[in-house]
Amino acid sequence: MRSSGGEKFVYGLCAVLFALTVLVLYAPILVNALLSVVPRKAGSLHWAEAGGGAYLELFGNVDLMQSLFASVIVAVSASVLSSVIAVVMALYLDSRFAFGRRAIETLIYLPFIMPSMITGLALLIYFTALKVPLSLATVTLGHTIFVLAIAYRLTSVRLTNLSPSLREASMDLGANGWQTFRHIIFPHLQPAILSGVLFAAAISIDETLITLFLSGDRMTLPIRLWSMLRVGFTQEINALVTLVIAGTLVVALFGLRVWKKDGKLEF
Amino acid sequence: MSSLEGEQDLVLRGVSKRYGHLQVLQPTELHVRSGEFLTIVGSSGSGKTTLLRMIAGFTNNTSGEILFQGRDITNVPTHKRPFNTVFQDYALFPHMTVAENIGYGPMIRRQPREAITRKVNEALSIVGLQKMIDRMPSQLSGGQKQRVALARALVCEPKVLLLDEPLSALDAEMRYQMQTFLKDLQRRVDTTFILVTHDQEEAITMSDRIAVMSAGRIEQVGDHREVYYAPKTPFVASFFGDTNLIAGTLTPDGGLQTPLGLLADVAARGPRKGKVIASLRPEAIQLSAAGRRDAGIQREGERICISARIQRTIFAGPLTRVVATCDDHPEIEFLVKVTSGDLPVSSVPGTSVRLRFSAKDLAIVPVDGDEAASAPGHLKLVAASEGAR
Amino acid sequence: MRLGARLFLFLIAAAGPVLLVLLPLSGFVLNSFYSMNGSEIVRGFSAGNYAEFANNKAYVGVLWHTIWLCGRVALICLLLAYPLAWYVWQQPEAKRFPLLLVIILPLFMSYIVKLFTMRSLLAVTGLMNELLLDAGFLAKPTTAFMFNENAILLTMVAMYLPFVFLPIYLALERIPESLVQASADLGGTQATTFRHVVWPLSVPGVISGAIFAFVLSLGDYVTPQMVGGPNGFTFGRVIFSQFGAAYNWPLGAALAVVLVIVSGAAILSAGLVSKKGEA
């Protein structure tokens, strides 16, 4: 459709807004990437001294690497665990036998909707009362129930989109419940499960508040960064952050591509 | 009854289905003979799909039992029943090729790979789709998907093949081809076919026997001659093809009394007394010019002749509606079949004509009090057919 | 399936959520009814904490102020996110998804890092001041944007903008092309079409987005702590301090419950408003 001059102006304005927004939104990684190679001393950038040295130092920093490693372990565990639970729950709640579906679904979504501070605090009190020692395991549990909402939602929606006649056809052809799951339902769910795992991992890596309350003495990356917040980031940290963000973005990107697989954003 | 039931027969006894307060299927009896092509036909809401799904095992019956080969299979789960279904939406697995779809049943049964390949090829050649073996369902046309669905069901060698409105999604041309194809196929594989449709023409062309359903009840089961020429209820009478329905009452000595007068001395077939509807097929009526001495209703043995004066005619393709008056009675409308471009007689309003038919062609159907489509004492020839075309 | 088997499955399925969500949360709420005696938690049931909250002008004042702040965050996010969503929606099909990706991806960036970046950007010695100085808008660096409420506002907007963008975009995407074409066919300009067709149909997305931003910012205590300075005191910080220096867990729990109630009320009223619109 042809647009008038006024409409073009508005459109142009929005385009500029878009560009600016992108700059601001991506400032974190851009700035950190910049600072990781160009040292900043006394408030100004020393372009002449630019180099990748910070990255090399980074890999030698055992402390930081350990924190990173811990975060990665938590992220992988939480995303896998939440995916398994999500599939089981989605299947159960979708069947005819389930009652209390609304209630259970509310419980699944709740930790994600509530301020994470509260989820973290509540779990802290809970674990303390049960005398469970705080560790990476408790952090993983906290993350799992947090990201479960995403994994469940994606899986559940995808399951609903499976035409009932396909399940009936499978049974009609002689497959029992398990075989139908293996050959028909599971292949159908795969994109949702995969994107769920990827999103969950990306979210878990930088989830801070819950981690803060549940990690006890264990050092994960967000805690590290948190403690550095007052002091300021060193170039090593800049390098680390750049890498982590880049990695997370790549993972999230895959997740989004997989999610869109059939051309539709199912949510 | 067991002496009449063959070895392979499928019997439904007192089978019904209720959802809460909604009785979708009344307690129903059905006896399906081994090797026959049975069509269950009716409009939507008649319960026909429910019946089929109960046979397949997708829907549980609220009461009654289902027996096959003498065994009660009511509580046997779907995947263990020796039946297979061709779904209305074909239900082909989108992530599998045609070969994998067809091979699904044998794969589940853990048959050896060579056997599966052989059976898949056989099934594909039966439906004529060998070239499509490695295609994905999304690459197939409607008719091809249908044939793949057929092949997939047949490869499991079911004792009964269930077809749920298989032709409803096809265009008219394909539908006709598939009707012939299915009929041949059934003979070739020598398997019992139970097909559900709303299309009366399909039912009547393809099947050995037809079960007509309405509002959760089977109204009649019979071959095409029976349901067409000897309907047992008004619904069945008006379901197949077009017909003229005449309301009337049977006199004690078997005569058919209608608002036009005594139509027939002896009603050829049907019940003995009470309120009835007589169904008269348009093709049974001969329309000709009236003789000078023709008036009212004249009966000569089996021959019946109604004299009337034309008011107007409406051309409707293979049939023509003629609106006429008979003596002092109010207008009646009837359908006649014409075999050439013109009515065999002038259709100018005012022309006197004769309608001649044989008493044998009157199919007499009993009615319950409020079932009568026509108001008592008021002759109404109901012309429209209720079966979908 | 028999009732017994159904119950059994239900218990297994419910076990996870109940054990890890319902119980901790109930425990949390329960804690809000306890009280402190010196440095010991007294497990007696009393509504004392809530009374303390209601009577304490300071607490209530901070709550209202925080609500006002988060309301502004939501508003600014909406004002920015809507044009962005509209812009992406106006693109041809093929270009939409990449642009959508560009806006959504930052959601996956580390929260702490975003916070830190905003802090350095807006600070006295930060990039923003440098730009303003160079461009001649300022004679000397300003502290107007850091360690105060403006900082909290700006930072939160930067953080939550993608959250608001998504529902608005999804709502726009759901508008059938045919409606827009019909409006043009009947003589409408883009402006009229927008006013009468696009905007009304996008309102549910706008409401969702606004609620997202509001609830998320309400519960965010880290941002105010890090960029708010002594003036930027929000309710979230009050809550957190009960678990830190002030060491009054029951009170903290009670205040947190109040926060949840406020969030819940916001979500509910948004739900009611959108239902009313549908009716």
Q: What is the pLDDT of residues A91-117, one digit of tens each?
A: 888 877 667 788 888 888 888 877 777
Which residues of chain A make contact with C28, given a CB cutoff of 8 A?
118, 121-122, 125-126
HEC string of C7-58 equals HHHHHHHHHHHHHHHHHHHHHHHHHCCCEEECCEEECCCCCHHHHHHHHCHH
* Interchain pair C189, A93: CB under 8 A: no
* Interchain pair A173, B104: CB under 8 A: yes
Which residues of chain A make contact with C86, given a CB cutoff of 8 A?
14
ipTM field? 0.79
At residue B350, the pLDDT reads 81
Residue B163 backbone dihedrals phi, psi, to 5 degrees: -120, 120
Task: Say how many residues make up chain B.
Answer: 389
What b-and-e string marks burial along C128-151, b requiring 16 or more CB atoms within 10 Å of the CB? bbeebeeeeeeeebeeebbbbbbb
The predicted model gives C49-53 an average pLDDT of: 76
At residue B370, the pLDDT reads 54
Residue B106's closest CA among B119, B90, B123?
A: B119
The predicted model gives B199-226 an average pLDDT of: 92
Cβ of residue A123 closer than 8 Å to a chain C Cβ: yes
Chain A: touching chains (3 or more CB pairs < 8 Å) = B, C
- Tell me the CA distances in angstroms from B188 to A243, B13, B178, B203, one per residue in order: 68, 30, 15, 19
* Interchain pair A115, C218: CB under 8 A: yes
Cα separation, B335 vs B241, whole angstroms: 12
Check pLDDT > 50 for residue C18.
Answer: yes
Check pLDDT > 60 for residue B267.
Answer: no
Confidence of residue B309 (pLDDT cuts 50, 70, 90): confident
* Residue corresponding to tokens 């009511």: B74
Q: Identify the top-confidence range among B137-146, B239-248, B328-337, C54-63.
A: B137-146
Inter-helix orientation angle C127-135/C111-122, to 10°: 30
pLDDT tens per residue, range B120-168: 999 999 999 999 999 999 999 988 999 999 999 999 999 999 999 998 8
* Interchain pair A166, B85: CB under 8 A: no
Which residues of chain A make contact with C103, given a CB cutoff of 8 A?
21-22, 25
Q: Report which DSSP code applies to C196.
A: I
Check pLDDT > 50 for residue B262.
Answer: yes
At residue B1, the pLDDT reads 40
Higher per-residue pLDDT: B242 or B291: B242
Cα separation, B201 vs A186, whole angstroms: 42
* Interchain pair A188, B85: CB under 8 A: no
Higher per-residue pLDDT: B234 or B110: B110
At residue B374, the pLDDT reads 44
At residue B65, the pLDDT reads 93
Least confident of A207-216, B53-62, C186-195: A207-216
- Residue B16, classed as helix, strand or coil, is strand
At residue C4, the pLDDT reads 75
Determine the topology of domain B242-371 in CATH.
Answer: OB fold (Dihydrolipoamide Acetyltransferase, E2P) (2.40.50)
* Interchain pair C117, A15: CB under 8 A: no
**Contact assessment for residue B388 and residue B200, using Cβ atoms and an 8 Å cutoff:** yes
The predicted model gives A27-44 an average pLDDT of: 77
B and C interact (at least 3 Cβ pairs within 8 A): no
CB atoms within 10 A of CB B7: 7
At residue B296, the pLDDT reads 78
Cβ of residue A45 closer than 8 Å to a chain C Cβ: no
Cα separation, C173 vs C170, whole angstroms: 5
**Contact assessment for residue A110 and residue A201, using Cβ atoms and an 8 Å cutoff:** no
Pairing mode of beta strands B274-280, B363-366 = antiparallel
% of chain B at pLDDT higher than 70: 88
At residue B266, the pLDDT reads 63
Cβ of residue A44 closer than 8 Å to a chain B Cβ: no
In a mutagenesis test of the A interface, which of C21, C96, C100 is the best target, namely the one with the most A β-carbons within 10 Å? C21
Task: Say how many residues make up chain A.
Answer: 267
Question: Is B183 buried (19+), middle (13-18) or exposed (0-12) by CB count in 10 A?
Answer: middle
Cα separation, C239 vs B111, whole angstroms: 66
Cα separation, C272 vs A258, whole angstroms: 34
Cα separation, A83 vs A77, whole angstroms: 10
* Interchain pair A173, B152: CB under 8 A: yes
Cα separation, A140 vs A152, whole angstroms: 17
Task: Estimate to the nearest angstrom the gap between the alpha carbon of B143 and the chain centroid.
Answer: 23
pLDDT tens per residue, range B272-284: 677 888 888 888 8
At residue B145, the pLDDT reads 93
- Residue B320, classed as helix, strand or coil, is strand
Question: Which tokens is A249 given?
Answer: 């973005």
Cβ of residue A262 closer than 8 Å to a chain B Cβ: no
Closest CA–CA distance from residue B191 to any residue of chain A (Å): 17
Partner residues linked to B247 by β-bridges: B277
Closest CA–CA distance from residue A163 to any residue of chain C (Å): 22
Partner residues linked to B357 by β-bridges: B304
pLDDT tens per residue, range A116-172: 778 888 888 888 888 888 888 888 988 998 899 989 999 998 998 899 999 999 999
| Nearest CB to B93; choose among A171, A179, A184 | A184
Closest CA–CA distance from residue A187 to any residue of chain B (Å): 8
Cα separation, B371 vs A184, whole angstroms: 49
Cβ of residue B317 closer than 8 Å to a chain A Cβ: no
For the segment(s) B10-227, the CATH number from 3.40.50.620, 2.40.50.140, 3.40.50.300, 3.50.30.30 is 3.40.50.300
Least confident of A212-221, B356-365, C196-205, C252-261: A212-221
pLDDT tens per residue, range B195-207: 999 998 889 889 9
Partner residues linked to B11 by β-bridges: B31, B67
Confidence of residue B383 (pLDDT cuts 50, 70, 90): very low
pLDDT tens per residue, range C191-224: 888 888 889 889 988 998 998 899 888 888 788 8
Torsion C267-C273-C278-C279 (CA) sign? positive
Which residues of chain C make contact with A113, given a CB cutoff of 8 A?
215, 267
Cβ of residue B105 closer than 8 Å to a chain A Cβ: yes
* Interchain pair A117, C112: CB under 8 A: no
Check pLDDT > 60 for residue B4.
Answer: no
CB atoms within 10 A of CB C219: 24
| Nearest CB to A28; choose among C20, C114, C256 | C114
Kind plus residue range of the DSSP H or E element containing C268: helix C249-278
Q: Report which DSSP code applies to C195.
A: I
Closest CA–CA distance from residue C279 to any residue of chain A (Å): 23
- Fold match between B10-227 and B242-371? no
Check pLDDT > 80 for residue A5.
Answer: no
Cβ of residue B176 closer than 8 Å to a chain A Cβ: no
Chain B: touching chains (3 or more CB pairs < 8 Å) = A
Which residues of chain A make contact with B83, given a CB cutoff of 8 A?
172
Please give the model's pTM, rounded to 2 decimal places.
0.80
Question: Which tokens is C81 given?
Answer: 């996110």
| Nearest CB to A203; choose among C108, C158, C221 | C108
The predicted model gives B12-34 an average pLDDT of: 92
Question: Which tokens is C188 given?
Answer: 């409408």
The predicted model gives A9-24 an average pLDDT of: 89
Instruction: Provide the terminal-to-terminal Cα distance of chain B, rounded to the nearest Å.
Output: 37
Task: Say how many residues make up chain C.
Answer: 279
Closest CA–CA distance from residue A265 to any residue of chain C (Å): 9
| Nearest CB to C190; choose among A7, A141, A202 | A7
Higher per-residue pLDDT: B63 or B259: B63
Question: Is B287 buried (19+), middle (13-18) or exposed (0-12) by CB count in 10 A?
Answer: buried
* Residue corresponding to tokens 């006024």: A6
Q: Write down the domain spans for chain C.
A: 50-278
* Interchain pair A168, B77: CB under 8 A: no
Question: Which tokens is B155 given?
Answer: 């490869």
Which residues of chain A make contact with B84, given a CB cutoff of 8 A?
172-173
> With left for phi above 0 and alpha for psi between -120 and 50, is residue A49 left, alpha or beta?
alpha
At residue C121, the pLDDT reads 77
* Interchain pair A97, C218: CB under 8 A: no
At residue B375, the pLDDT reads 33
Cα separation, A259 vs C205, whole angstroms: 21
pLDDT tens per residue, range A213-267: 777 777 777 777 777 766 767 777 788 888 888 888 888 888 888 877 655 555 5
HEC string of chain A equals CCCCHHHHHHHHHHHHHHHHHHHHHHHHHHHHHHHHHCCEECCEECHHHCCCHHHHHHHHCHHHHHHHHHHHHHHHHHHHHHHHHHHHHHHHHHCCCCCCHHHHHHHHHHHHHCCHHHHHHHHHHHHHHCCCCCCHHHHHHHHHHHHHHHHHHHHHHHHHCCCHHHHHHHHHCCCCHHHHHHHHHHHHHHHHHHHHHHHHHHHHHCCCHHHHHHCCCCCCHHHHHHHHCCCCCCHHHHHHHHHHHHHHHHHHHHHHHHHCCCCCCCC
* Interchain pair C127, A26: CB under 8 A: no
Partner residues linked to C41 by β-bridges: C36
User: In chain A, positions 53-82, which contact chain C (CB-CB < 8 Å)?
Assistant: none
The predicted model gives C122-140 an average pLDDT of: 72
User: In chain A, positions 129-168, which contact chain C (CB-CB < 8 Å)?
Assistant: 129, 141, 144-145
* Interchain pair A166, B93: CB under 8 A: yes
Cβ of residue A98 closer than 8 Å to a chain C Cβ: yes
Q: Write down the domain spans for chain A.
A: 5-49, 62-259
Cβ of residue A186 closer than 8 Å to a chain B Cβ: no
Cα separation, C113 vs A233, whole angstroms: 10
Which residues of chain A make contact with B153, given a CB cutoff of 8 A?
172-173
In a mutagenesis test of the B interface, which of A173, A180, A181 is the best target, namely the one with the most B β-carbons within 10 Å? A173
Residue C120 backbone dihedrals phi, psi, to 5 degrees: -70, -30
Q: Looking at the structure, give the CATH architecture of the domain made up of residues C50-278.
A: Orthogonal Bundle (1.10)
**Contact assessment for residue B218 and residue B207, using Cβ atoms and an 8 Å cutoff:** no
* Interchain pair A187, B56: CB under 8 A: no
Cβ of residue A165 closer than 8 Å to a chain B Cβ: yes
The predicted model gives C9-18 an average pLDDT of: 78
| Nearest CB to A172; choose among B56, B88, B109 | B56
At residue C1, the pLDDT reads 55
- Residue C169, classed as helix, strand or coil, is helix
Check pLDDT > 70 for residue C278.
Answer: no
Higher per-residue pLDDT: A213 or C75: C75
Question: Which tokens is B306 given?
Answer: 């109604």
Which residues of chain B make contact with A262, given a CB cutoff of 8 A?
none
CB atoms within 10 A of CB C103: 21
Q: Looking at the structure, give the CATH architecture of the domain made up of residues A62-259.
A: Orthogonal Bundle (1.10)
Chain C: touching chains (3 or more CB pairs < 8 Å) = A
Q: Write down the domain spans for chain B.
A: 10-227, 242-371
Confidence of residue B220 (pLDDT cuts 50, 70, 90): very high
% of chain C at pLDDT higher than 90: 14
Check pLDDT > 90 for residue B86.
Answer: yes
% of chain C at pLDDT higher than 70: 90
Question: Which tokens is A253 given?
Answer: 């990107």
Question: Taking CA atoms, what residue in B is nearest to A177?
Answer: B79
Check pLDDT > 60 for residue B269.
Answer: no
